Amino acid sequence: MFRHKSGRLRRPDEPAQDTPKEAEPKLKLVKERPKRRRGLKLFLWLCVLVLVAGTAVWGIANRDLFSGVRIEEWFDQAFGNYGTGDGFPVTAAGSEVSDLAIIGSDVALLSDSSLQLFNDTAKEIYSRQHKFQTPVLRKTDTRALLYDRGSTGYRVENRKRTVITGKTDYNLLAADISQSGDLVLVTEGTGGYVSELVVLGSDLKTVRFKWSSASNMVVDVAAAPDGKGAAAATVYAKDGGLGSSLTLLDFGSDTPAYLNFNDTLFFAVRYCGDRVIGIGDDRIVSVKPDGSDMQEFSYGDAYLAAWDLEETGQIAVALSPYEDRRECSVTFLNAALSQTASVAAGEVRALSCSEGLTAVLAPSAVTAYSADGSVVASAQVSASGSQVALKERTAYVLEGRTVASYPLS
């Protein structure tokens, strides 16, 4: 017996049988995908080119924001570690405190002898002395501008160092610093001018723009956040009395826009949203930077007790029927002066707007309101409280020479 290839046994006389061949595999017909249309590729490449070009143009237009110093400031603001303090309250280094403010995530305290900066644990980041007689503080998210109103000195500070100190040729009337780093200095004029304005670029040396007025005395100035313009509140003589104006300056133009008011005296000017806000003794005026679309909010027969705003577009104003600020109503406005709410608040000593909330400081309490007038939180404070600064639902209250913190959540 023999074994067949298939594995079974066969007889010797049985012819061998071949195993059937395995079936050959069938060929599978695969359809070739059509090539992408050239138009789609071209469209995608154009999108990439537009994106790259747009980013380059934006970077060139905002190149001042990417200087080594500015990048260092942002990095330090976000990640700088200055240790942990013992918590608030803290006491000012000087004998008299003139201003309380928030710079980035820190609390700034300006006294008659020093500018101090504390983090949220009350760790002192710096204490820098000054010799200014009338110190005024203006700020950005990372820098503080300190100038001596009525004299010639000014300086710019960041967390790590004094960026620059300088003196003007004539006495300073007002000054401000923009988010882009430009410095706006207004001094008494010469040669027939009563006010002269100079804009220094982000290097704080190069003169970018000049403006002078023979009739308008500047009482306050605001630098546009993008560094492309400025606004000034001015007063002028009119028919034996005083008039006031908002002067709107475009650094790319030699022709300012003037808004004149014969029966209002403006004492402060700020940028809010995409508009310029003028704070006067009997009204608030809102206007676009080119002078168009002017809106007004009148105090009527009331007295202005307090006001504050934040650049994103929120405004709060406290009005009282009495000069001593009793029985105030606090009105909440947007940048175009449309009223969103009004609440009765009693005596109001100060206001602070931040992140959609307004802190209202009364003689013994601080209360946070939303823009629709709803009470968010309240805390009991010292009866000596005179100023308030709101940051991340914490109210920092100036009580004499001491700053205390009160959570509002």
For 110-140, the pLDDT digits (tens) are 999 999 999 999 999 999 999 999 999 999 9
Q: Are residues 328 and 341 in contact, defined by beta-carbon separation less than 8 angstroms?
A: no
CA–CA gap between residue 234 and residue 345 (Å, rounded) = 32
Burial class of 373 by CB neighbour count within 10 A (0 to 12, 13 to 18, 19+): middle
Average pLDDT over residues 180-194: 95
Region at 7 (left for phi over 0; alpha for psi -120 to 50; beta for the rest) = left
Average pLDDT over residues 209-230: 96
Q: Are residues 328 and 345 in contact, defined by beta-carbon separation less than 8 angstroms?
A: yes
According to DSSP, the residues that pair with 156 across neighbouring strands are 145, 164
Residue 82: the pLDDT is 80
Average pLDDT over residues 53-71: 51
Q: What is the residue type of 294?
A: M
Q: Are residues 125 and 82 in contact, defined by beta-carbon separation less than 8 angstroms?
A: yes
Query: 205: which residues sit within 8 A by CB, 6+ positions away?
Result: none
Does the pLDDT value for residue 369 go beyond 50?
yes
In this structure, how many other beta carbons lie within 10 angstroms of the beta carbon of residue 133? Answer: 11
Domain borders along the chain are 303-409
Q: What are phi and psi of 249, to 5 degrees?
A: -110, 130
CA–CA gap between residue 390 and residue 180 (Å, rounded) = 24
For 26-41, the pLDDT digits (tens) are 555 555 555 555 666 6
Residue 127: the pLDDT is 97
Tokens of 219: 């009482």
Region at 201 (left for phi over 0; alpha for psi -120 to 50; beta for the rest) = beta
Query: 107: which residues sit within 8 A by CB, 6+ positions away?
Result: 100, 101, 117, 118, 119, 120, 389, 391, 396, 403
Where in 189-327 does DSSP place strands (E)? 195-200, 207-213, 217-223, 229-238, 241-250, 257-261, 266-272, 275-280, 283-287, 295-298, 303-310, 314-320
In this structure, how many other beta carbons lie within 10 angstroms of the beta carbon of residue 45? Answer: 10
Does the pLDDT value for residue 203 go beyond 80?
yes
For 132-173, the pLDDT digits (tens) are 999 999 999 999 999 999 999 999 999 999 999 999 999 999
Does the pLDDT value for residue 99 go beyond 90?
yes
Q: What is the residue type of 306?
A: A
The length of the chain is 409
Average pLDDT over residues 200-210: 95
Order of strands, edge to edge, in the sheet holding 275-280? 266-272, 275-280, 283-287, 295-298
Residue 61: the pLDDT is 46
Residue 46: the pLDDT is 73
Q: Are residues 190 and 210 in contact, defined by beta-carbon separation less than 8 angstroms?
A: no
CA–CA gap between residue 365 and residue 406 (Å, rounded) = 10
CATH annotation of 303-409: 2.120.10.30
Q: Are residues 324 and 303 in contact, defined by beta-carbon separation less than 8 angstroms?
A: no
Closest CA to 160 of 122, 129, 117, 121: 117
Q: Are residues 145 and 154 in contact, defined by beta-carbon separation less than 8 angstroms?
A: yes
Residue 35: the pLDDT is 52
Q: What is the residue type of 26?
A: K
Residue 234: the pLDDT is 98
Q: What is the residue type of 106?
A: D
Q: Are residues 363 and 324 in contact, defined by beta-carbon separation less than 8 angstroms?
A: no
For 241-296, the pLDDT digits (tens) are 899 999 999 999 999 999 999 989 999 999 999 999 999 999 999 999 999 999 99
Tokens of 271: 């940028």
* Angle ∠(146,149,155) on CA atoms, nearest 5: 25
Confidence of residue 65 (pLDDT cuts 50, 70, 90): very low
Order of strands, edge to edge, in the sheet holding 257-261? 217-223, 229-238, 241-250, 257-261
Instruction: For 101-115, give the DSSP string.
Output: EEETTEEEEEESSEE
Closest CA to 144 of 110, 93, 187: 110
For 286-332, the pLDDT digits (tens) are 999 999 999 999 999 999 999 999 999 999 999 999 999 899 999 99
3-state secondary structure of 91: strand
